[in-house]
A and B are shown apart, each in its own frame.
Chain A
């Protein structure tokens, strides 16, 4: 009797476990193993000297160095900017705080490569509109600002990445127990001492964890260096991999160089994540109370209005100016004309919806990101459930595999997917949308796991036990208790994947086929082909799609929250 009851139950759990392992192995495990194998082995033999040889090659070495410098610079700049604005919003009496807080998150919505495109138009050394204006204004012979430089890349990336830091630090500052500061003040400490000895140490883990997110992202970022750097011969690792693969006729040697550079990326990313993990664990000891009085606000007095103006100007310059530029360039009859009404036309915009290439790109991006978001969300829920709730044997394999996607930059995933899915194992999906789909699932699995396991950890085991004790089957418990409770986590996972996938460039630029360009790839290719006005028109359309997506999702989520 007992046997009959337990046998199918165990096997069902095992099937789920096996399936979860299988998904992770197929989607992320094999590609990563193949990358390491290709990097270290040549013709079946371990080849460490060959590995080092390529790293020593000045060309690749330079790319490595640039990647590090860009990541370091971007982290430094975005952290300073993020912390400053977070402090301004959380701890001062800045007017219109709520609006300002929402505004500081807007740079997230603008894809950074579109931003880079706009800034190239505004600040390229000879033709940039701002540069030309400044040259006339200041009577200069040469352009004052060269955006197509390492400094330019760092500034532009920081512009669109600082919200990572802002979000983390702002919430830490808000949640901080104000009594700590007050007791210091009562003991006679000045503002500087309090900031140095109390506030900063308390929010430091949040600052560092935001900074590491920026570092992780910019280390493996393709779009901005590709648009601002390659023309001047500035390459980072992802753009070097791209260049190598496309200039050497897709030879295996290029792919091998790519895998070697990828291993460096994976190792750096793993180190960054390790550091972040360490900080977060340490951060658990920080005294940040859940419910408390609002911290005392610093009175800005005379600086109140000027600082508000600075904040608004910052948003205006980083978001509105590039957006308007992109829309205007998209309306030009041909690139190089001035923005006068006689030079403007709707033709480019209409062309976007007539031209097969751009129509395909929009459609590809939409259905690929919808499909990937759905599948990744479901698979992520299942895997998180196995990791968090059931404790079968072999769980550690899952945990290990589950951490892997976090440290895989987009370029690495693309290479791994090429190695895995172009016929080596009997399945060849090269040049089909499937290869991009598989890559998206691998790339965004981390988001889904994070969001789902956070939701699952909040569901107390006792709820499930109570349901089982009342006689419900495992399946009924899942359906009636667990799923409804984690639904918000699942839905947020869906959108966490859908929106970034919609504007994805780094991965798809290495995987696209003649009919499977995504929006990001199409914009990038048009720009590279010198169809600047059409690239801008498509970018404008993409921005509108992203804006509609973002706002309708916000409304949808708000309504859902009301229902709950």
Chain B
């Protein structure tokens, strides 16, 4: 009998929770008058980066109930598109590395312009003077390699075409990963599609997300991959047998942050953007082993990162407006080459 009682209590709890979660929208709307604010950020930044930012932000703004959804940029855009179609946009702020998406969203008129008081300190190769989006980080990508298997680290992109890399290199799926999408755009613009075709001829393949290719390199499943700076270095710090090199032509990809038009949580959203661009926020970003978008915040030394000024000077260039228009065809062509179709 006692057991049964517990059983029913558990079920009651389950149902009440479902009711609560289902109806939570209304309850928070009424609580807004009491200055309790809500904020939902969709970001492609991994837990190691966004987790610490959340902790610091919540500490600074205890009345904002902050939540985030971390996934590849492709998934985030799909989620947003589906939410827009069902007229129920959940996210207030988006922060990914897929710049073409930001330009497209600005053109569609679904972003809220906001020039943060901190924005004047930001230096980025891509910027929007009207403030529809602002770079909160300068992501750099290099060649991540397995130190157990690669005794002779590559120096240039062309090294990857050597026989010792046969069947051992991967680039993340550009449909899933924003950094991969932009990287491919930059590489194709610099070296042409022939380079991708030659990579494929040398047995390179398409991986999944930008994190998974790095993990597969760490396990030795891959010899190397195009790796994101902080994902790779974080794993190196934890002891993974990885190394990262930045060839002369660098992949520098700003990660813009933007606010959605019509968000009911505008003031909280602005607070978050301010925080990201503040010295405090940028220091957390820098300490997570990537480049801050503020020159006045120092980077972590001795982990192989390139100073922002040098990185931007060495960076491959592309016309982002053009890349936006060609985005789908770039993804399609890359997948076609990699899957041998």
Which A residues are closer than 8 A to B by beta carbons?
Answer: 58, 121, 124-128, 132, 230-233, 243, 245-252, 333-337, 343, 355-357, 363, 366-368, 370-371, 374, 418, 422-423, 428-434, 437, 513-516, 525, 527-532, 556, 559
Contacts and interface: CB of A to CB of B under 8 A. Distances in A.
Contact of B14 (A333, A334, A367): A367
The winner among A336, A374, A525, A532 for most chain B CB atoms within 10 A is: A336
A437 B79 CA distance: 19
A292 B67 CA distance: 64
B81 A127 contact: no
The winner among B18, B78, B239 for most chain A CB atoms within 10 A is: B18
A68 B2 CA distance: 49
B161 interface: no
A336 B242 contact: yes
Interface string B1-28: 0010001001101110110011001000
Contacts of A366: 14
B88 interface: yes
A126 B215 CA distance: 13
Interface in B38-88: 40, 42, 46-47, 51, 67-72, 74-75, 77-83, 85-88
A336 B207 contact: no
A337 B88 contact: no
The winner among A334, A371, A528, A556 for most chain B CB atoms within 10 A is: A334
Interface in B178-215: 205-215
B3 A556 contact: yes
Nearest to B85: A250
Nearest to B234: A334
A255 to B, nearest CB: 9
B296 interface: no
B82 to A, nearest CB: 4
Given A126-B221, A250-B85, A355-B47, A333 B78 contact: no
A371 B22 contact: no
B115 interface: no
A514 B67 contact: yes
Given A357-B70, A530-B212, 18 more contacts: A126-B168, A231-B205, A231-B212, A246-B176, A247-B331, A333-B239, A334-B235, A336-B219, A357-B47, A374-B11, A423-B87, A428-B87, A431-B90, A433-B22, A528-B208, A529-B46, A532-B215, A559-B3
Contacts of B69: 514-515
A431 B10 contact: no
Given A337-B240, A514-B42, A367 B13 contact: yes
A431 B83 contact: yes
B222 interface: yes
A433 B21 contact: yes
B77 A374 contact: no
A252 B21 contact: no
B88 A430 contact: yes
Given A430-B86, A514-B91, A124 B219 contact: yes
A252 B81 CA distance: 10
B242 A529 contact: no
B35 interface: no
B175 interface: yes
A178 to B, nearest CB: 41
B249 interface: no
B239 A343 contact: yes
Q: Which 8 A-B pairs have the closest CB atoms?
A: A530-B211, A336-B218, A514-B69, A422-B86, A370-B14, A250-B82, A530-B212, A250-B81
Contacts of A428: 86-88
Interface in B211-257: 211-222, 231, 235, 238-242
Contact of A247 (B67, B80, B176): B176
Given A126-B220, A370-B11, A249 B214 contact: no
B85 A252 contact: yes
A245 B78 contact: yes
A363 B17 CA distance: 10
Contact of B211 (A333, A431, A433, A531): A531
Given A247-B176, A367-B13, A529-B72, A513 B90 contact: yes
B193 to A, nearest CB: 19
A251 B81 contact: yes
Contacts of A423: 86-88
Given A251-B81, A423-B86, A530-B215, A127 B47 contact: no
Contacts of A336: 146, 215, 217-220, 235, 240-242
B220 A247 contact: no
Contacts of B77: 249-250
B240 A529 contact: no
Contact of B40 (A334, A437, A514): A514
Nearest to B211: A530
Contact of A530 (B25, B81, B86, B209): B209
A531 B47 contact: yes
A335 B91 contact: no
A556 B78 CA distance: 44
22 contacts: A58-B341, A127-B221, A232-B205, A233-B206, A246-B78, A247-B175, A247-B331, A335-B215, A335-B218, A336-B217, A337-B240, A371-B17, A422-B88, A428-B88, A430-B88, A514-B40, A514-B90, A515-B67, A528-B209, A529-B212, A531-B215, A559-B3
Given A371-B18, A514-B90, A530-B231, A334 B239 contact: yes
Contacts of A434: 18, 22
A377 to B, nearest CB: 10
A231 B207 contact: yes
Contacts of B329: none
Contact of B222 (A126, A356, A371, A528): A126
B18 A437 contact: yes
Contacts of B341: 58
B71 to A, nearest CB: 7
B41 to A, nearest CB: 9
A418 B79 CA distance: 13
Given A337-B240, A434-B22, A529-B72, A250 B87 contact: no
Given A334-B238, A336-B219, A431-B90, A530 B18 contact: no
Contact of B15 (A333, A371, A532): A371
A122 B258 CA distance: 42
Nearest to B235: A334
B30 interface: no
A374 B12 CA distance: 10
A130 to B, nearest CB: 13
A102 B77 CA distance: 47
A58 B91 CA distance: 36
A110 to B, nearest CB: 22
B339 interface: yes
B17 A367 contact: yes
Given A125-B221, A246-B78, A530-B211, A432 B87 contact: no
A352 to B, nearest CB: 12
